C-alpha cells in the first residue's frame, strides 16, 4: 500500500505545479497581459457626395424635322449641310408663281365681294333689301376674305425659315425637285445644351429634385466627364418599369455630345459635409452586424458596434457609433480582445490607409 501511495501523490503534486505554472503565463491581448502591436488610423470627418449610378440617353435641346407644308417645286436651298443658322434664316424657297396667281385671283374676288357688301349695307340701311339678302351678300364677302387669307398663307408656306438657332442636317431634296406636302426636306438641331434622359428607380424618388447635379461619360470620350443639372422630374411613375423619368441639361459648347448617344451617369443625391469615414479593413461584419476596435487613451482596445452607410473604394461611412477623431484598428484585430492592451506599429505601417481621400462617388444602394 505504501508503494502505491507515493507515486500517486507524486503525480498529483506535479499536476498542481504544472497548473500553477500555466496561471502565471499571460495571455496575449488579455487585460494585464503583454500589448499586441496593431496598425491604427484616425476616423476622419470629411465631405461625402452620395451618387446614384445609372445609364441614360442623350437628346438634342431642340430638334425638328423640316417638312413642306405645301406642294411645289424647290427653287432655292439657302444653306449647306452642317451649317449653323440663326433663327429666321430662309432655308428653302418653293416656286411661288402659281401661288402668286392664286393670291391675285382671290384678291380680285375679295374686292368684288367687298364692293357688293358695301352697296348692300347702304341698301339695307335704307330698307331697300331684305335682311336675308343682306346676310347672303355679307356671307359671300366673309368667305372671299377667308379665301384670300388662305391663299396668302399658302404663299407664305412656300418659304421655310429656321424656327430657332441650330445646325442643319443632311438635305433630302435638290433644287428643281417637285415635292408633295409633308415631304421631309432636312433637320434642324440645337446641340448646346443637350438633354440627358434617365430613368430613376422609384425607391429614390424622395431624393431626386430639380437642381441636382449629374456627371456623365460617353464611350466616344471615355476620359472626359461632362457636368449637367436636373431641370425636370416626371410627375408620375412608369407603372411598367417602376421608374421616374428625369431630364438634365448638359453643356455642350464644343458639340462633342450628340443626340442618341448612350451615357453612363452619376446623379448626385446628397452631400454630407461631416461624414465619418474609416478604412474598410477596420470594419468587422458578423451576422449582419458591424463592429470595429478603437484605442482609448490608455492604449486599450475597445470593441464598438457601429452602423455603416455608403461604401467606396477602400473606405466605409460610419453613420453611428463613432464621433470622428477616434483611432480605429485596421490591422491586428485577430489578436486583439476587448479591453486588451495594444501598441501602435510604426507610422509607415499605416501609410497605405492614408492615401488621398476620395470622398466623391459613393454609390447609393451599396
Q: Mean of the pLDDT values across residues 6-10?
A: 40
C-alpha cell at 56: 441614360
Whole-number Å distance between alpha carbons of 229 and 235:
18
Residue 321 · residue 279 · CB < 8 Å: no
Total length of the chain: 366
Reply yes or no on whether the pLDDT at 83 is more than 70: yes
**Cell 382671290, residue?**
106
Cis peptide before 193 (omega within 30 of 0): yes
Whole-number Å distance between alpha carbons of 144 and 156:
18
Which pLDDT score is estimated for 294?
95
Domain at 30-49+275-363: CATH code: 2.40.420.20
Which pLDDT score is estimated for 351?
87
Q: What is the DSSP letter of 87?
A: T
Domain at 96-157: CATH code: 1.10.287.470
Reply yes or no on whether the pLDDT at 363 is more than 70: no
Topology alike, domains 69-92+160-182 and 96-157: no
Q: What is the pLDDT of residues 15-68, one digit of tens each?
A: 444 444 444 444 445 555 688 999 999 998 888 887 888 999 999 999 999 999
Q: Mean of the pLDDT values across residues 135-143?
A: 94
Task: List residues bridging with 93 in a β-sheet.
Answer: 76, 159
Which pLDDT score is estimated for 33?
60
pLDDT > 70 fraction of the chain, expressed in percent and rounded: 88
Q: What global pTM score does this model have?
A: 0.64
* CATH class held by domain 52-61+191-272: mainly beta
Non-local CB neighbours of 232 within 8 Å, separated by 6+ positions = 210, 245, 246, 247, 248
Structural fold of domain 69-92+160-182: OB fold (Dihydrolipoamide Acetyltransferase, E2P) (2.40.50)
Which pLDDT score is estimated for 274?
86
Rg of the chain (C-alpha set): 42
Q: What is the pLDDT of residues 191-218, one digit of tens each?
A: 999 999 999 999 888 889 999 999 999 9
pLDDT classification of 242: cutoffs 50, 70, 90: very high
Q: Mean of the pLDDT values across residues 79-86?
A: 95
Q: Which residue, 207, 257, 201, 204, is CA-closest to 227?
A: 257
Which pLDDT score is estimated for 126?
87
CA atoms within 13 A on the CB side of 254: 4
Which is more confident, 354 or 120? 120
Query: How do the domains of the chain map onto residue ranges?
Result: 30-49+275-363, 52-61+191-272, 69-92+160-182, 96-157
Q: Mean of the pLDDT values across residues 250-269?
A: 92
Q: Mean of the pLDDT values across residues 75-79?
A: 95
Angle (CA) 154-71-184 rounded to 5° is 110
Q: What is the pLDDT of residues 297-311, one digit of tens each?
A: 889 999 999 999 888
Which is more confident, 3 or 298? 298
Reply yes or no on whether the pLDDT at 290 is more than 60: yes
Reply yes or no on whether the pLDDT at 236 is more than 80: yes
Q: What is the DSSP letter of 348?
A: G
Residue 103 · residue 152 · CB < 8 Å: yes
Reply yes or no on whether the pLDDT at 139 is more than 60: yes
Which is more confident, 128 or 28? 128
Which is more confident, 12 or 290? 290
Mean pLDDT, the chain, rounded, equals 86
Whole-number Å distance between alpha carbons of 73 and 21:
112
Residue 307 · residue 290 · CB < 8 Å: yes
User: Regarding beta strands 36-42 and 166-168, do their DSSP bridges make them parallel or antiparallel, or are they unpaired?
Assistant: unpaired
Non-local CB neighbours of 197 within 8 Å, separated by 6+ positions = 56, 57, 58, 59, 245, 246, 247
Q: Which residue, 66, 279, 312, is CA-closest to 189?
A: 66
**Cell 454609390, residue?**
363
Amino acid at each position: 500500500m505504501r508503494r502505491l501511495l507515493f507515486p500517486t501523490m507524486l503525480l498529483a503534486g506535479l499536476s498542481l505545479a504544472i497548473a500553477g505554472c500555466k496561471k502565471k503565463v499571460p495571455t496575449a491581448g488579455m487585460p494585464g497581459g503583454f500589448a499586441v502591436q496593431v496598425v491604427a488610423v484616425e476616423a476622419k470627418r470629411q465631405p461625402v457626395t452620395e451618387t446614384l449610378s445609372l445609364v441614360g440617353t442623350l437628346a438634342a435641346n431642340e430638334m425638328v424635322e423640316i417638312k413642306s407644308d405645301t406642294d411645289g417645286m424647290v427653287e432655292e436651298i439657302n444653306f449647306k449641310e452642317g451649317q449653323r443658322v440663326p433663327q429666321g434664316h430662309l432655308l428653302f424657297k418653293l416656286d411661288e408663281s402659281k401661288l402668286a396667281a392664286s393670291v391675285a385671283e382671290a384678291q380680285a374676288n375679295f374686292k368684288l365681294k367687298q364692293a357688293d357688301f358695301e352697296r348692300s349695307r347702304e341698301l339695307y340701311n335704307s330698307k331697300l333689301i331684305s335682311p336675308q339678302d343682306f346676310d347672303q351678300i355679307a356671307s359671300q364677302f366673309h368667305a372671299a376674305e377667308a379665301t384670300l387669307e388662305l391663299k396668302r398663307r399658302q404663299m407664305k408656306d412656300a418659304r421655310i425659315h429656321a424656327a430657332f438657332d441650330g445646325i442643319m442636317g443632311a438635305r433630302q431634296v435638290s433644287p428643281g425637285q417637285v415635292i408633295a406636302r409633308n415631304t421631309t426636306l432636312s433637320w434642324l438641331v440645337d446641340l448646346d445644351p443637350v438633354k440627358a434622359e434617365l430613368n430613376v428607380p422609384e425607391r429614390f424618388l424622395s431624393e431626386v429634385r430639380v437642381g441636382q447635379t449629374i456627371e456623365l461619360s460617353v464611350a466616344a470620350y471615355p476620359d472626359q466627364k461632362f457636368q449637367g443639372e436636373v431641370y425636370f422630374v416626371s410627375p408620375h411613375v412608369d407603372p411598367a418599369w417602376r421608374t421616374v423619368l428625369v431630364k438634365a441639361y448638359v453643356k455642350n459648347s464644343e458639340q462633342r455630345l450628340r443626340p442618341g448617344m448612350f451615357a453612363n451617369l452619376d446623379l448626385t443625391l446628397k452631400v454630407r459635409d461631416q461624414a465619418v469615414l474609416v478604412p474598410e479593413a477596420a470594419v468587422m461584419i458578423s451576422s449582419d452586424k458591424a463592429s470595429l476596435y478603437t484605442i482609448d487613451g490608455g492604449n486599450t482596445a475597445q470593441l464598438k458596434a457601429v452602423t455603416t452607410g455608403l461604401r467606396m473604394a477602400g473606405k466605409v461611412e460610419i453613420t453611428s457609433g463613432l464621433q470622428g477623431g477616434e483611432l480605429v484598428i485596421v490591422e491586428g484585430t485577430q489578436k486583439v480582445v476587448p479591453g486588451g492592451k495594444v501598441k501602435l506599429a510604426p507610422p509607415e505601417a499605416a501609410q497605405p490607409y492614408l492615401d488621398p481621400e476620395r470622398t466623391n462617388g459613393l454609390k447609393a444602394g451599396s
